[in-house]
Amino acid sequence: MNEIKTKKEKLKILIVASEVVPFAKTGGLADVAGALPKALKKLGHDVRVVLPKYKCISDEKFNIIDTGKRVVVDIALVKHIGVIKQSFFPETDIPVYFIDNDEFFNRDELYRTPYGEYWDNAERFIFFSRSVIEMLKEIDFIPDIIHCNDWHTGLIPVYLKTIYKNIGDNIATVYSIHNIAYQGYTDKEKLSHAGLPWDLWTIDKLEFYGGINFMKGGIVFSDIINTVSESYKRETETPEFGYNLDGVLRSRNGDYFGVLNGVDYEIWNPATDKYIDVNYDIKTIHLKNEMKKILLQEIGLKYYENVPLLSMISRLDAQKGIDFIVSIMDEMLKMNLQFVILGTGDKWYHDILYDFKNKYPEKFSVHFKFDNILAHKIYAGADIFIMPSYFEPCGLGQLIALKYGTVPIVRAIGGLKDTVKQFNFKTKQGNGFLFYGNSPNDLLQVIRIAVDTYKNKSVWNKLIENGMKENFSWEHSAQEYVKLYYKAIEKHKNKNVC
């Protein structure tokens, strides 16, 4: 093990993620993996990032070059070659590596077709994980810390403590859970495809209900584990939200932490946002209404004075509470409001929301696509942002909405509960509205309260201001991650001594 770094020393950190803004994104993980490196760099650390080279990542747009280095990974006796490409985060000197392999990554989507997950996702991320470790020798960079994220990279800590122990002895690992519902559960034969020994197929290691579980590997083998809010950390340790990994997490309780995500305010800031038509800040909030008019025109709705525009930008997935929305839609659209949804996901939700669009063409607008620019415009132009999630590890939508003066209505769960504070009509404190129950009616009631409050302009402006004044920048969260990195190094060193 390298000499343990003192807390003032610069760390060498490799962040490994399956998606990273601005290169590839399907959800919040990409936002985190895109913003955290920049914040760590500002704190003086040597940080680098690696992700797969998907089809959607353009060499030309991002000035990606072939380093000329190659790695070879065996999967089920077949040799696969990984081409190591490199670029930098735009306008920075933070290196970004890409593992390129046509067979695994040159596909239309990151993880799935419209009909379901790619059949070989386990092989794709076994390949990626081993390639990342093989890459370290090639690029001559042995980090102090490898920071792994979600199931796709769960095998990296396993490799580093087993068949790559010679390299792993020098590297501590932090494993971040962004969503425990996606675990990388697969059949046990994949263990040998991964080149891992069968003695790992035990209940205290990778075995999971007769198969293997990549995320469990990350939890068991990493030095330190975290998830993305304090509340979600506690929730994942319970059977209701732990998705059968709650026991494993409880067994590592002393090494498991909650670190709230931040927002990249270089990207998400209504004063400087290059995707919105009218920029505004806390002193020029009245301009938000101009943005609203332009947005309404773009999404095919008419502008009416004093009618609030409610919004959702979300994966259309049961996790996000879309069932709540569907069940209250008729009642909700009887109110004096308009509603826009931007999202993609389950076909069932597409069909039913499409029917509502036909039924209420003047009040409801829905867009079934992933569209970053439209997302920026909705955050800026809408009055209210709804997130009724069944569970929510951190949630970025509500944090972005706050910055744009778009008042959040959220379910009091996970990271939503840690970031949205109930508005108090007496003290005028708070930044949004929460509902606590498990019934769609609870959501409907809070929407009624919000729509009523909207009519009182001075109260509403206070709510907007409270939200825009919040600071969820990455600066603080990055410092929390650095603390975890030092903890991981300490722990790793002690383990090696034993």
Q: Please report, as residue ranges, which positions from 111 to 140 form the binding site for ligand ADP (by CB under 6 A).
A: none
Among 82, 168, 308, 397, binds ligand ADP (CB under 6 A): 397
Calpha distance 474→263 (Å, rounded): 6
> Quick one: which H or E segment has residue 208?
strand 207-208
Q: Is residue 315 part of the contact set for ligand ADP (CB under 6 A)?
A: yes
Q: Is residue 110 part of the contact set for ligand ADP (CB under 6 A)?
A: no
Q: How far is the CB of 344 from ligand ADP (least distance, A)?
A: 5
Among 314, 338, 365, 406, binds ligand ADP (CB under 6 A): 314
In the block, tokens 């081993």 appear at: 130
Phi, psi of 182 (to 5 degrees): -110, 105
Q: How far is the CB of 135 from ligand ADP (least distance, A)?
A: 26
Q: Please report, as residue ranges, which positions from 152 to 191 form the binding site for ligand ADP (by CB under 6 A).
A: 179
Burial 19-43 (b: 16+ CB within 10 A, else e): bbbebbbebbbbbbbbbbbbbbbee
Q: Is residue 16 part of the contact set for ligand ADP (CB under 6 A)?
A: no
Q: Is residue 17 part of the contact set for ligand ADP (CB under 6 A)?
A: no
Q: How far is the CB of 394 from ligand ADP (least distance, A)?
A: 6
Residue nearest to ligand ADP (CB): 28
Q: Which is nearer to ligand ADP, 162 or 227 (CB)?
A: 227
Identity at 335, one-letter amino acid code: M
Q: Is residue 34 part of the contact set for ligand ADP (CB under 6 A)?
A: no
Q: How far is the CB of 485 from ligand ADP (least distance, A)?
A: 23
Q: Which is nearer to ligand ADP, 237 or 392 (CB)?
A: 392
Q: Which is nearer to ligand ADP, 135 or 299 (CB)?
A: 299
Q: How far is the CB of 241 from ligand ADP (least distance, A)?
A: 14
Among 13, 16, 18, 28, binds ligand ADP (CB under 6 A): 28
Q: Is residue 15 part of the contact set for ligand ADP (CB under 6 A)?
A: no
Q: Please report, as residue ranges, which positions from 452 to 471 form the binding site for ligand ADP (by CB under 6 A).
A: none
The pair of structure tokens assigned to 349 is: 């939700």
Calpha distance 445→462 (Å, rounded): 21
Phi, psi of 410 (to 5 degrees): -135, 160
Q: Is residue 445 part of the contact set for ligand ADP (CB under 6 A)?
A: no
Q: Which is nearer to ligand ADP, 204 or 266 (CB)?
A: 266
Q: Please report, as residue ranges, which positions from 324 to 383 form the binding site for ligand ADP (by CB under 6 A).
A: 342-344, 370-372, 375
Calpha distance 66→460 (Å, rounded): 53
Q: Which is nearer to ligand ADP, 315 or 487 (CB)?
A: 315
Q: Are 337 and 444 in contact (CB under 8 A)?
A: no
Query: Comparing C-alpha atoms, which of 92, 100, 93, 37 is closest to residue 67?
Result: 100
Residue 218-257 contact track with ligand ADP, rule CB under 6 A, x = bound: ----------------------------------------
Q: How far is the CB of 27 from ligand ADP (least distance, A)?
A: 3
Q: Are 160 and 144 in contact (CB under 8 A)?
A: no
SS3 content of the chain, % helix, strand, coil (to 5): 40, 20, 40
In the block, tokens 């025109």 appear at: 297
Among 75, 278, 366, 396, binds ligand ADP (CB under 6 A): 396
Phi, psi of 247 (to 5 degrees): -65, -45
Query: Comparing C-alpha atoms, which of 94, 109, 96 is closest to residue 20?
Result: 96
Q: How far is the CB of 427 from ligand ADP (least distance, A)?
A: 28
Q: Is residue 295 part of the contact set for ligand ADP (CB under 6 A)?
A: no
Burial of 356 (0-12, 13-18, 19+ CB in 10 A): buried
Q: Is residue 395 part of the contact set for ligand ADP (CB under 6 A)?
A: yes
Q: Are 291 and 380 in contact (CB under 8 A)?
A: yes
Q: Which stretch binds ligand ADP (CB under 6 A): 27-35, 78-86, 191-199, 461-469?
A: 27-35
Calpha distance 35→360 (Å, rounded): 39
Q: How far is the CB of 85 from ligand ADP (least distance, A)?
A: 25
Calpha distance 388→440 (Å, rounded): 9
Contacts 24+ apart (CB under 8 A), 290-294: 291/377, 291/380, 291/381, 292/381, 292/382, 292/383, 294/377, 294/381
Q: Which stretch binds ligand ADP (CB under 6 A): 187-195, 313-321, 350-358, 418-426?
A: 313-321
Q: Is residue 207 part of the contact set for ligand ADP (CB under 6 A)?
A: no
Interaction site with ligand ADP (CB under 6 A): 27-28, 31, 179, 313-315, 342-344, 370-372, 375, 394-397
